[in-house]
Structure 1
């Protein structure tokens, strides 16, 4: 085993987070939680979670059990490179795409991630270097509609270009899944993942390693980094960083349920997006949970009394403890700060352990995602009814149709700015605003910048998610967590729609149904949802940006 330069994990804490560690760590050690976790004991989260946990714990040993994949992936990569195929596209959602995206970005190797059903984004991917493209189709269940639709689109594109899809498509799925049998019958290269690992814990399975390794990331090193701390994380000792981080996240009293992820110089690119899914989908249920808020390199303002700041530190920062301790808080509820550093492979396993610990302290099952399925079913229902078109708008302002759901709160609003203010008025003192944009996250990336002025103006956490990507992440927390969020949904007319080969719906109809289904489930849970549909993409986007700037600039709704 090669020894990485930076395998060490550091977890430091101050304020309420440190108090939580002091409060819960002795009990976790006395209960033997770490040892039982690595022995794959399914009873750690109570009787209700036992059946699910019994088939979801193999991730604790992946640093060793995934070793055979290294040679297989390397050989496949060399074979493809020898044929001039060096552009790797990953079709997958949630746990199938977020880890490879972080692994490749951190390694500095290119990977195209297609985790959208927005037709403009799909079309752009299909037109990019098709003659030198290998597509990794990743789906644990084998029935994810987004991934199936993306696969069909690539199959058609390859055939139209005179390329045999069997030479260019690699499938990663669980053994025995519907996709497994279908792909083998079609002659595709199939690599099975460990079926006893849930999607968001699958970073070190074939789901994380196949696309990353084909793209050129050093996946052996990644496994080395994870293996180097496996014994430490399995040790029932007060120095165990997984127990410490889990207690800091899930053990504050009263619970600080907003986990603000701040890039404080970490060498890991995009880590917050991966951690966001792991934490939100694992804990956001039964009316509780932890809401991750990914904010970039700085917090949005003074720390509130329901926030814990997590500073993602560089591995070589000898002053990480001092930095974590000195992070100031001007909020009224005191301070709660955590500093975390370490190599990527080590941190992937660390955060998985910490999330399992937090689940125990919160009294929930960290391995199911009941509200993700509810939104999927609502989308299927809309597709089954035809186009999945939305109801008539409450009003139209310029190039934006305005709809409201989840209560009679829109009132006499007649402009987009008015509607935004009315939504913000529904925000309580412990609430948050979730911005959910069903647009092209590459071409329309600047829209994410609107999160900062909104958060600064409101003085409350604001999250930003690209649809349908976030449905496999914070979408679970939105419906299953504390009922205190307000939701801004943004959709658009595509520049040009795109048929899904072999299906009776288009990508445009599908993404519309996904947005409509999500809004319906949120509304059924009593969550206020403002739906803004851009009827002309560029003009509507410019109008929306102006309205957000206007509402943020005058401090409307600020607390």
Structure 2
């Protein structure tokens, strides 16, 4: 039996006390479990009517369990025990948290950085099966990864079609092409579930199950949680968490998520994409800010910050200040946060199932690939770092530290900084350590995302949410580029276009964007030093 717990204090508790009675009166829990598409108003009804399948995960997912187990056993008998997942957004973040929490190995490939892709190709190809996950069946990152693996298998004398497993919606371009190509297996996901709500569909279960996670227990856990959440009462913790997230007044739209030993490895990153992409639109929304224990945001006391602490089930943790404390096992937590996000969407008066601004960055990237514009000259070069930014942002800045200070100077009292690193997160994971330093220097929330994967999560909020952000984009020079079979562009050109396209969309919306390009690996150290200098100087003074 699943265990879920929720406690709230301060502004979060006030939001619960104010909003839950109305949610109960409107029968929201029962209507949500009955997949009522009218909960979010007439503008959202058409989309909601085809996006609520996640509330009954077992119907489409239970039959998959035996099929996945059987395929895993077949592959193991052939010596194929390494699973690589090519996917983006919810298609990669859900399997990542499921397998890491279960303690089983899964190589998640959610990058177009050529060094990252090459590293995934270089390890144990003889024992590898690749799971290609794309809801639309046309995701450029996933298609590119499939192409390069298919070529690598063939070049190694391996029957490529026997090593490719596809997860997609029925009738997608990939669905038909994969069946025609004779790939090892094609799993169709429930088409009535959006990508960020798809953790308990084929998108979450196929790669996780092939890697060895107990997906049947995960579904059992989720079903137990749904029983808890179906109760139309004031103590329904799904209604309570939803009210705390979406019902503070004034809205505390920076939701700081910190894992304090929950045991759910990587859960904040999954929750980040769920909340940001679901709510960040029409000039409002919630920005999840994933932080480490003791982060500056937790104790800042900022009036626009709400802290969500994830703790272990057996922990007697009490919320302090404007906080919620949430505990539960993985399947239960997945359903709880999906349920609460849908409730928060109702309170925010938005459609939590569309993503109107995600396509803008994709379109801009495609335009960059088609037109192949010449690289713009940097505003200046400082050491191993090229600096680019509009003159109205940079002013008289002539050093990396001065450019950073100029960007941070754009932050208002309700602002946030988004750091977006289009780099090899395996080799340069330490770069994320600049996040707390920047938060300390600014006194404002700071998000850190790896590109291009953040485009499928917080990318929606950055463009569709309130105009409060400042954006630090970091790119680098790969050690070696990598061609994409059958495409007129390389991985290096693709990730460059994705970064440039997103920066142009943000700039077109009047958002302040500072772009840093590392010419050499020393650029990381130089940026870290510049951040330390800013912290010691007290920010952007």
Task: Report the TM-score, using the length of structure 1 for normalisation.
Answer: 0.95
Q: Report the equivalent of 1:68.
A: 63
1:417–1:551 CA contact under 8 A, matched in 2: yes
Seen in structure 2, the aligned counterparts of structure 1 residues 389 and 491 have a Cα distance that, compared at 3 Å, is farther
Structure 2 residue 536 is matched with structure 1 residue 553: yes
Structure 2 residue 106 is matched with structure 1 residue 111: yes
* 1:362 aligned residue (348, 360, 378): 348
Q: Within 5 Å, which residues of 2 pair with 1:204-243? A: 204-243=200-239
Q: Report the equivalent of 1:330.
A: none
2: CA distance, partners of 1:361 / 1:410: 39
2: CA distance, partners of 1:84 / 1:555: 56
Secondary structure class of the residue paired with 2:394: coil
* 2:387 aligned residue (402, 410, 417): 402
Structure 2 residue 260 is matched with structure 1 residue 264: yes
* 2:376 aligned residue (381, 391, 410): 391
* 1:312 aligned residue (288, 295, 310): 310
Residue ranges of structure 2 left out of the alignment (5+ in a row): none
Secondary structure class of the residue paired with 2:389: strand
Secondary structure class of the residue paired with 2:161: helix
Q: What's the CA shift for 1:544?
A: 1.8
Q: Within 5 Å, which residues of 2 pair with 1:340-359? A: 340-359=326-345
Structure 2 residue 322 is matched with structure 1 residue 336: yes
Secondary structure class of the residue paired with 1:142: coil
1: CA distance, partners of 2:346 / 2:425: 35
2: CA distance, partners of 1:31 / 1:381: 46
Q: Report the equivalent of 1:303.
A: 301
Q: What's the CA shift for 1:409?
A: 1.6
2: CA distance, partners of 1:493 / 1:51: 44
Q: What's the CA shift for 1:553?
A: 2.4
2:91–2:134 CA contact under 8 A, matched in 1: yes
Q: Report the equivalent of 1:192.
A: 188
Q: What's the CA shift for 1:554?
A: 1.5
Structure 2 residue 495 is matched with structure 1 residue 495: no
Matched residues, number: 538
Secondary structure class of the residue paired with 2:471: strand
Alignment deviations for residues 500-534 of structure 1 (CA, whole Å, 9 cap, x no partner) = 11000000000000000000010111100000011
Secondary structure class of the residue paired with 1:208: helix
2: CA distance, partners of 1:408 / 1:370: 29
Q: What's the CA shift for 1:389?
A: 4.8
1: CA distance, partners of 2:81 / 2:301: 45
Q: Within 5 Å, which residues of 2 pair with 1:408-557? A: 408-536=392-520, 538-557=521-540
1: CA distance, partners of 2:301 / 2:105: 36
2: CA distance, partners of 1:144 / 1:102: 22
1:106–1:267 CA contact under 8 A, matched in 2: yes
Q: Within 5 Å, which residues of 2 pair with 1:144-293? A: 144-188=139-183, 189-293=185-289
Secondary structure class of the residue paired with 1:370: coil
1: CA distance, partners of 2:293 / 2:163: 39
2: CA distance, partners of 1:193 / 1:65: 8
1: CA distance, partners of 2:502 / 2:535: 26
2: CA distance, partners of 1:517 / 1:48: 29
2: CA distance, partners of 1:140 / 1:389: 33
Q: Within 5 Å, which residues of 2 pair with 1:4-83? A: 7-83=2-78
